[in-house]
Structure 1
Amino acid sequence: MSTRKYRLQVEGMTCAGCEKRVERALSSIGAKNVEANFRRGEAGFELPEPIGIEQAKEAVHKAHYKAGEAEAVHQQKGSAIRDEGGEDYDFIVIGSGGAAFSAAIKAAEYGAKVAMIERGMIGGTCVNIGCIPSKTLLRSAEIQYLAKNHSFLGLHTSAGPADWKKLVEQKDELVKRLRRQKYMDLIDEYGFELIRGEARFINEKTVEVNGDELTAKRFLIATGASPSIPDIPGLKEVDYLTSTSLLELKELPKRLAVIGSGYIGLELGQLFHRFGVEVTLMQRGQKILPGYEPEISEAAEKALTEQCIRFIAGATFERVEQNGDLKKIHVTVNGEKKIVEAEQLLVATGRKPNTDALNLQAANVQVGPRGEVLADGYLRTTNPRIYAAGDVTLGPQFVYVAAYQGGIAADNAIGGLARKVNLDVVPSVIFTDPAIAAVGLTEKQAKERGYEVRTSVLPLDAVPRALVNRETTGLFKLVADAKTGKLLGVHLVAENAGDVIYAAALAVKFGLTAEDLRESLAPYLTMAEGLKLAALTFDKDVNKLSCCAG
């Protein structure tokens, strides 16, 4: 008996219990492989002949939910585009980072003939110049800092000068090993072809690489992003650094000036400061991390200022000049002219998509004002043959988001599915010390969406783990729907915030309430216990509770 797969919009689902009721209703008429999702407001299922979609809608209606638009999903075993002919490949992936490899692996598993085109280093930003190299050096800086600075009486620790050159060599060895294990070795494992060179579209289904013309049934643009350089007079004539070249320095400077204090500036600024470099972070705005909760921004700035990192806020950058090895950054702050001098200058003012060389207009692919590839919820561009995923779309700039999108792009382009991207719950982490993490809505965003909001702010000195660590600068903030108690957002500045935020992401994703957190057992003397204590803070003063009394 043949079946047909559908995706049906369902209004009125608000929780996991609603999902179960919809799934039971559809199963009762003979639907198979039913999966409802209240957050996406949809249900996916297969209907054996002769059951029709109208019967499915009626079943949903009888379960007291509203059935909306239904979409037939054309799914086949193997590649869904094999019946198209004449092209060199089923799928050409341009780029070789997280999104590209996720898509290429998924497409190969469908049985598609896949080629990957890369003009530079295999592996993209994360493994080569981003997450891996920066975080391993951040860990070394943390160890160096703790050896010299701690709050425990009776401990007499010290650390000599760091051998920066050896640390960089060790970092490079790790990058080389992971690039081989997690990227290059997988090319043969999954059997797709790697083509070295610059890809340039000639028309809607053809790219030119090294003088050769290659055609494909489907394409994925996953070329990532690179540092964006602001238009400051004199900057182009100065030997400035980016996040890439900074981590390739052979020796530490005495002073480092940083233009920009987003996550890159904060992480790398603290990294070099902990190795004895005098660091000055400069920004146009009055507050660091303006997109975060105000309490989070203030706590983060307080923690880093306590570590003697210098901030200059509200700066207008007049010009930059260089005399020998000395860089001079001329700024105006509150009408007062200042000059910041440093041996090295890091420019950390965001990233721009790598689309300039692709000749996208020849492929009828539209880009946005910053050169980002425009893609719909299914990751299709304005050319239905071509998809886009990862940083090149200027969505959330995280490798795990890129990999998620790459898999969806392959499912849709090659598998014939109609999967829609859902980025409602994306955790973010800034790997400073203390770390900064967030997931879900801020208080302001929640109000803008029409929620009646309750918030809870828990200082870190109310968290036992922070007390025993003797590191109490930071806080937890919860944002909840005042009517239902559901968590809408979680934000924190704390040690291990990056680990805590995954539990928070699950709570937000699955609609847990503050009461759910209060009624769940939290292991004592963990930073994650702060989630429960922050939930208690909605209604109680946790300082008046005994240990574990929550």
Structure 2
Amino acid sequence: MKSLRVAVIGSGAAAMAAALKAVEQGARVTLIERGMVGGTCVNVGCVPSKIMIRTAHIAHRRRTSPFDAGLPPVPPTILRERLLAQQQARVDELRHAKYERILDDNPAIDVLRGEARFRDEHGLTVRLADGGEREVTFDRCLIATGASPAIPPIPGLKDSPYWTSTEALASDTLPDRLAVIGSSVVAVELAQAFARLGSRVTILARNALFFREDPAIGEALTDAFRAEDIEVLEHTQTSRIVHRDAEFVLTTHRGELRADKLLVATGRSPNTPGLNLQAAGVAVDAHSAIVIDTAMRTSAPHIYAAGDCTDQPQFVYVAAAAGTRAAINMTGGDAMLDLSAMPTVVFTDPQVATVGYSEAEAHGAGIETDSRLLTLDNVPRALANFDTRGFIKLVIEEGSRRLIGVQAVAPEAGELIQAAALAIRNRMTVEELADQLFPYLTMVEGLKLAAQTFNKDVKQLSCCAG
């Protein structure tokens, strides 16, 4: 029997997961990549940013900590060029190990270097990187082209040498003054990292930080940033940008702001223009994101899509899970992607971690809720760390008492959120969560304490009361 011919456009998390699963299911795969193999996460996203954030955290702790009285701080010398070389070496290592080597070693995957464009509903034209064109005919196709930084239409911006996250992460120098336009994940992560490495940072937020989330999240993070002398200008829009004499001048209703570098981090736009999707009958939404169903199928039944080019949440682990399920479905299976208990983490300090419904989202879905917010001065691990910034908030459904959402702002909040996700996935009540055994002096114990607050005053409990 002839193998199913699968075309995969892209080589990031969704594309690789799909290609490997399709081969496992007996398909023959042609993978097409126009740029660097590995996509955003390993090359210019998750991996380099988390390395830089960790570097900045260590620099910050050498400069200041809750234990300075007994461990006098020694401000570090920042050698950015060496740190960048270390960062890039790890990126290159992971790209080779997790993408390039795997593709080279798999004879069932044919890699084409070039830019793909739909010719019709069963064919692609690939403009090859080394010249010429190649026609690719497929039985099934996965579009996994990812997304790129979205650039707002601010007068003067496009004529200036602004940074996106890509340029910021690759810079071998640290600006004295950095302005950041944006208020969500990339903006706040990189703003704090540059501040901790020595830049004077100003964030210009059109609304407030994380204004789409529970308001307590933005408030807690803004307080933490201001405590580190990061200037957060809320409800501030830039009406004009001028770059002259190696300086950015941003005009706002508050007056002019001057900076040596400008980072624009206002979201990411799907990489769908240029694919000629209409020739294949693939529909997109108003933001150019490919519309898919729970099986990752597009409006063309034999064409699938996954990852940041779709209307799914833009997280690498969502992309990989979607790619795997798309491949199963392309090869005759039936797999769905349930995002109802999808955990998220923002790698600031303190971290922001969420899963499930916020109160506002639950009310919007017609769910009656009850909630409790536990500040970290009630969590023994935070007290032992002498760092009680943040909170843990639980949202439950009235009546059933099931846990339906958790929001946390805490150092290492990302390490506790998966326990919350499992509790939601397993439909636990808040009383069942409160009754679980949690190891003492861990941050995740805060989930148990927050659950106990629905029925008890935790201030009146002994240190590890069950």
Q: TM-score range by the shorter chain?
A: over 0.9
TM-score by length of 1: 0.82
Q: 1:108 aligns with which of 16, 23, 31?
A: 23
Structure 2 residue 368 is matched with structure 1 residue 452 = yes
Q: Give the length in aligned residue pairs.
A: 459
Indicate the SS of the match to 1:208: strand
Pick aligned residue for 2:179 from 257, 263, 288: 257
CA RMSD of aligned residues (A): 1.2
Matched, 1:176 2:92: yes
Task: Determine which of 362, 374, 383 is the counterpart of 2:300.
Answer: 383
1:275 to 172, 189, 197: 197
* Distance in 2 between residues matched to 1:384 and 1:324, nearest whole Å: 55
Cα distance, 1:514 vs structure 2: 0.9
Whole-angstrom distance in 2 between the partners of 1:445 and 1:356 = 32
Deviations 1:165-202 (A, max 9, x none): 10001000000000000111111333311100000111
Distance 1:431 1:370 in 2: 27
Deviation at 1:362, TM superposition (A): 1.1
Aligned match for 1:426, one of 342, 348, 357: 342
Q: Where does residue 361 of structure 1 map in the other structure? A: 278
Is 1:519 matched up with 2:435?
A: yes
- Cα-to-partner distance string for 1:327-373 (whole Å, 9 max, x where unaligned): 011011xxxx4111100000000000001121111111111111111
Q: Which residue identity does 1:248 align to in structure 2?
A: A
Matches within 5 A, 1:275-294: 275-285=197-207, 287-294=208-215
How many angstroms apart in 2 are the aligned matches of 1:251 and 1:316?
Answer: 27
What SS class does the counterpart of residue 457 from structure 1 fall into?
strand
Residue 403 of structure 2 contacts residue 429 of structure 2 at CA under 8 Å; is this kept in 1? yes
1:224 to 125, 146, 162: 146
Q: Aligned with 1:291: secondary structure?
A: coil
1:305 CA drift (Å): 1.4
Q: Please tell me the residue identity of whatever aligns with 1:242.
A: T
Gaps spanning 5+ residues in structure 2: where? 128-132
Q: Deviations over 1:429-475 (max 9, x none)?
A: 00000100000000111122222211011001111111111111100
Letter of the structure 2 residue corresponding to residue 179 of structure 1 = R
Q: CA deviation at 1:295?
A: 1.6
Q: CA deviation at 1:375?
A: 1.2
| Aligned AA (2:461) | L
Match of 2:244 among 323, 330, 349: 323
Q: Determine helix, strand or coil for the equivalent of 1:145.
A: helix
Report the counterpart of residue 435 of structure 1 in structure 2. Answer: 351
Q: Tell me how far apart the structure 1 counterparts of residues 227 and 432 of structure 2 sit (CA, whole Å).
A: 36
Does structure 1 residue 91 correspond to structure 2 residue 12?
no
The alpha-carbon deviation at position 420 of structure 1 amounts to: 2.2
Aligned residue for 1:101, secondary structure, equals helix
Distance in 1 of aligned mates of 2:399 and 2:375: 25
* Letter in structure 2 aligned against 1:256: L
Please state how far the C-alpha of 1:83 moved relative to its aligned partner. Answer: 6.0
- Map Cα deviations across residues 294-321 of structure 1 (whole Å, 9 max, x no partner): 1222112111211111111111321000
Aligned-residue sequence identity (percent) comes to 46
CA contact (8 A) 2:351 2:411 kept: yes
Larger radius of gyration: 1
Write out aligned runs for 1:37-56 (5 A): none
TM-score (norm. length: structure 2): 0.97
**Which consecutive residues of structure 1, in runs of 5 or more, have no partner in the other structure?**
1-81
Match of 2:114 among 197, 214, 221: 197
Paired residues of 2:204 and 2:237 also in contact (CA < 8 A): no
Residue 402 (structure 2) pairs with residue 486 (structure 1) = yes
SS state of the match for residue 462, structure 2? coil
Matched residue, 2:382: 466
CA distance in 2 between partners of 1:434 and 1:496 (Å): 7
